[in-house]
Amino acid sequence: MKIDYKIHEIKKDIFAVVVPDTYDRCMLFLKAQEFYESPEFKGRIFSIWEFVKWYSKGDSFNYTIDWDGFNVPFKVAKKLINETETAYDVIFCNILNEILLTYKVSDKSYIMGIGTLKGETFEHELCHALYYTNKDYKRDANKLISQIDKKLYRYICSELEMMGYDSKVFKDEVQAYLTVNPNDLFVFPKISNISKSFRKKLSKYF
């Protein structure tokens, strides 16, 4: 099997794997993403068939429709470098090795899976990468999060939980959605003004 992809170093320690085909992109990053933040599979090696059964909940498997962009710390993704259950696993391992051989990689390195180097998905995943790699960005993002009304913040987190996010990544997801695409998740009167504050403060790091 052959997948069309290109690797780009976006900023220091931030690598984007551009995979134009949405299905291939989802299947390529599925295991790493769910190993990183799934409430069910976080931190453990799992079979793709175990995941398909869990995610479909006895109905259809819509993972490749539900998701578009991916983001994982490189050191987390590297834990799967010898996992080759499927052809997608093999290609993902090859991508990791290609990055290791071509670029300078550190413990702060981050990898994104996207379809193009522009648009909301790219900016959303870049927010995650910056939150992980740039201490100034993270400081500013956390300060903005701390200013959100507590009741509203709990509401936002409940929405994230229903989408399947683990509680440990709530802050990271809040800052990314409020900076780039708040309407993808929330219909709430106060969200618009809050989002403008995030965008104004954090987009300078893009």
Phi-psi group of 57: left, alpha or beta (phi > 0 → left; psi -120 to 50 → alpha; rest → beta): left
Q: Are 42 and 34 in contact (CB under 8 A)?
A: yes
CA distance 202 to 206: 8
CA distances from 63 to 47, 68, 126 (A): 15, 9, 21
Res. 89 pLDDT band, cuts 50 70 90: very high
Is the pLDDT at 24 greater than 90? The verdict is yes
CA distance 175 to 44: 27
- What are the tens digits of pLDDT across the range 143-186? 999 999 898 899 889 888 888 888 888 999 999 999 998 877 66
Query: What is the percent of the chain where pLDDT is above 90?
Result: 78
Ranges of each domain in the chain: 6-119, 134-205
**pTM of this structure:** 0.91
Which H or E run contains 113?
strand 110-114
* Residue listed under structure tokens 């259950």: 85
Average pLDDT score over the chain? 93
Is the pLDDT at 1 greater than 70? The verdict is yes
Res. 57 pLDDT band, cuts 50 70 90: confident
Is the pLDDT at 192 greater than 70? The verdict is yes
